[in-house]
Structure 1
Amino acid sequence: MSGVERTGNNTEYEAPFWEHVVELSVRLRRIVCAILISSIVLSVLPANWDFSSGAYVPLISHFPSLIIQTVLPKQVGLFGRTYNVVIMPESPFETFQIILLSALLLGSIGASPIIAREVWAYLEPALYPHEKKMVKKLVVISVSLFLFGIWLAVYIVTPWTLRITLSIYPFFVPQGYEAIIRVSVSDVVTLTIELALALGVVLQTPLIMYYLLAGGILDPSMFSRESMKIAFVVMLFVGAIISPDPSGLGMIVIALLLYLPFYIAVKLGEKAYYKRILQELVKEEEISVIKLKRGEHDGMQK
Structure 2
Amino acid sequence: MTDKRTPSQLAEDMPLVAHLTELRSRLLRIVGIWLLIFAGLFYFANDLYTFISEPLRVFLPEGTSMIATDVASPFLTPFKLALVSALFLAMPFILHQFWSFIAPGLYKHEKRLAVPLLASSIVLFYSGMAFAYFVVFPLVFGFFTSTAPAGVAVMTDINKYLDFVLTLFMAFGLSFEIPIATILLVLAGVVDVAKLREIRPYVVVGCFIIGMVLTPPDVISQALLAIPMWLLYELGILFSMLIKKRTQAEHPPEDQPEA
TM-score (norm 1): 0.71
Asked if 1:219 is matched to 2:192, the reply is yes
In structure 2, what is the equivalent of residue 269 of structure 1?
A: 240
Opposite residue 196 of structure 1, the aligned amino acid is F
The answer to whether the Cα contact below 8 Å between 1:216 and 1:273 also exists between their aligned partners in 2 is: no
In structure 2, what is the equivalent of residue 56 of structure 1?
A: none
In structure 2, what is the equivalent of residue 164 of structure 1?
A: 143
The answer to whether the Cα contact below 8 Å between 1:84 and 1:180 also exists between their aligned partners in 2 is: no
Q: Which runs of 5+ in 1 are unaligned?
A: 1-6, 45-58, 77-82, 285-302
In structure 1, what is the equivalent of residue 231 of structure 2?
A: 260
Q: Return the match for 2:46 from 41, 49, 61.
A: 61
The answer to whether the Cα contact below 8 Å between 1:71 and 1:155 also exists between their aligned partners in 2 is: no
Asked if 1:235 is matched to 2:207, the reply is yes
Between the aligned partners of 1:21 and 1:189, the Cα distance in structure 2 is 36
The answer to whether the Cα contact below 8 Å between 1:149 and 1:199 also exists between their aligned partners in 2 is: yes
Which structure: greater strand fraction?
Answer: 1
The answer to whether the Cα contact below 8 Å between 2:176 and 2:229 also exists between their aligned partners in 1 is: yes
Asked if 1:136 is matched to 2:135, the reply is no
Shift of 1:214: 4.2
Opposite residue 102 of structure 1, the aligned amino acid is L
TM-score (norm 2): 0.81
The answer to whether the Cα contact below 8 Å between 1:73 and 1:85 also exists between their aligned partners in 2 is: no
The answer to whether the Cα contact below 8 Å between 1:210 and 1:265 also exists between their aligned partners in 2 is: yes
Shift of 1:23: 5.3
Between the aligned partners of 2:15 and 2:214, the Cα distance in structure 1 is 35
Shift of 1:29: 4.0
Equivalenced residue count is 249
Opposite residue 266 of structure 1, the aligned amino acid is I
Opposite residue 165 of structure 1, the aligned amino acid is F
Between the aligned partners of 1:40 and 1:243, the Cα distance in structure 2 is 32
Structure 2 vs 1, CA of residues 109 and 70 (structure 1 numbering), >3 Å: closer, same or farther?
Answer: same
| Local SS of the residue matching 1:90 | coil
Shift of 1:166: 2.3
Structure 2 vs 1, CA of residues 208 and 243 (structure 1 numbering), >3 Å: closer, same or farther?
Answer: same
Between the aligned partners of 1:222 and 1:29, the Cα distance in structure 2 is 41
Q: Which runs of 5+ in 2 are unaligned?
A: 254-259
Between the aligned partners of 1:120 and 1:30, the Cα distance in structure 2 is 13
Higher relative contact order (CA 8 A, sep 6+): 2
Opposite residue 40 of structure 1, the aligned amino acid is A
What's the CA shift string for 1:34-66, capped at 9, x where partnerless?
Answer: 22221112323xxxxxxxxxxxxxx11211111
Shift of 1:164: 1.5
What's the CA shift string for 1:101-140, capped at 9, x where partnerless?
Answer: 3113320232122012023223323322011012112222
| Local SS of the residue matching 1:183 | coil
Percent of aligned positions that are identical: 20
Shift of 1:254: 0.6
Q: Return the match for 1:70 from 55, 80, 84.
A: 55
Structure 2 vs 1, CA of residues 37 and 232 (structure 1 numbering), >3 Å: closer, same or farther?
Answer: farther
Structure 2 vs 1, CA of residues 188 and 129 (structure 1 numbering), >3 Å: closer, same or farther?
Answer: same
Structure 2 vs 1, CA of residues 89 and 271 (structure 1 numbering), >3 Å: closer, same or farther?
Answer: same
In structure 2, what is the equivalent of residue 297 of structure 1?
A: none
In structure 2, what is the equivalent of residue 150 of structure 1?
A: 129
The answer to whether the Cα contact below 8 Å between 2:207 and 2:230 also exists between their aligned partners in 1 is: yes
The answer to whether the Cα contact below 8 Å between 1:86 and 1:180 also exists between their aligned partners in 2 is: no
RMSD: 3.0
Which structure: greater helix fraction?
Answer: 2
Equivalences for residues 80-229 of structure 1 within 5 A:
86-170=65-149, 173=150, 178-214=151-187, 216=189, 218-225=191-198, 227-229=199-201
Between the aligned partners of 2:20 and 2:146, the Cα distance in structure 1 is 50
